[in-house]
Amino acid sequence: MKLLEGKTAIVTGAARGIGKAIALKFAEQGANIAFTDLAIDDNAKQTEKELAALGVKVKGYASNAADFEDTHKVVDEIIKDFERVDILVNNAGITRDGLMARMSEQQWDMVINVNLKSAFNFIHALTPVMMRQKSGNIINMSSVVGLTGNASQANYSASKAGMIGLAKSIAKELGSRGVRANCICPGFIITEMTGVLSDEVKKKWAEQIPLKRGGTPEDVANAALFLASDLSSYISGEVISVTGGMNM
């Protein structure tokens, strides 16, 4: 039997990159997938097609995860279409890097809203659903810089540190209702976001990693699958680093 057979998962920001890899991994293991992105564009339609080919129920939803009301509306749609939600992966995220002395209020607000407030929005909308079910599994996608900080990324680091605090708080608050919440902290993962970096920067990153390579979206998806499945049924409020050892 597949690890997620019969379960329904929401994965935010899943049209590409790590979110898409997680959605595909979950679908391979039998989960029905509701995924969100800002727009159901060509990338999202391709993701929907690839997921459907795995024989599970799939639907993509256009949603601004940073908007409270919009998030509640899309969750209501998902519940109507799928009847239940067992797993939530808060993956939506952006970067707007800059030194603190030059960072604008807009850069700060955009990153906090998309990366952190979006997780609050979805958890808030799904809390009554999971409480009624007396079960639920929340995975917040944090980052290694949420643990270590990083120059020129005060906004991003703060948002990702907040994801850890949020997951731990929810784990304590909803644990008695059968709801688990954990975090994944990816390190240097080769995606479109990191693909714009120069070869020199990538080489420098690799030198800092004990495994001497960047990770793949599938490396992160494998950790997400573990946390989403019953293999981790007694794990809650924890942080799993997928960094190749770079944060030791």
pLDDT digits (tens, 9 = 90+) for 224-242: 999 999 999 999 999 999 9
H/E element, 204: helix 199-207
pLDDT at 204: 82
Domain limits for position 226? 8-236
149 within some domain = yes
User: How buried is residue 98: exposed, middle or buried, by Cβ count under 10 Å (0-12/13-18/19+)?
Assistant: middle
- Which pLDDT band, with edges at 50, 70 and 90, does 193 fall under? low
Sequence-distant (≥ 6) Cβ neighbours of residue 35 within 8 angstroms:
10, 11, 12, 14, 15, 19, 23, 44, 47, 48, 51, 58, 59, 60, 61
156 is known as an active-site residue: yes
* Overall domain count for the chain: 1
232 within some domain = yes
Whole-number CA gyration radius for the chain: 17
pLDDT at 206: 85
133 within some domain = yes
pLDDT, tens digit (0-9, with 9 covering 90-100), for 80-134: 999 999 999 999 999 999 999 999 999 999 999 999 999 999 999 999 999 999 9
Residues 191, 217 contacting (CB under 8 angstroms):
yes
pLDDT at 163: 98
Q: Pick the catalytic residue from 29, 156, 187, 191.
A: 156
pLDDT at 202: 76
What's the pTM? 0.96
201 within some domain = yes
pLDDT at 200: 82
Average pLDDT, the chain: 95
22 within some domain = yes
- Which pLDDT band, with edges at 50, 70 and 90, does 9 fall under? very high
Please give the full DSSP string across 11-76, using - where no structure is assigned: EET-SSHHHHHHHHHHHHTT-EEEEEESS--HHHHHHHHHHHTTTS-EEEEE--TT-HHHHHHHHH
**Once rounded to an integer, what is the mean pLDDT over residues 147-155?**
95
Q: What percent of the chain has pLDDT over 90?
A: 90
Is residue 197's pLDDT more than 80? Answer: no
61 within some domain = yes
31 within some domain = yes
213 within some domain = yes
Which CATH number covers residue 87? 3.40.50.720
Q: What percent of the chain has pLDDT over 70?
A: 98
pLDDT, tens digit (0-9, with 9 covering 90-100), for 206-222: 888 999 999 999 999 99
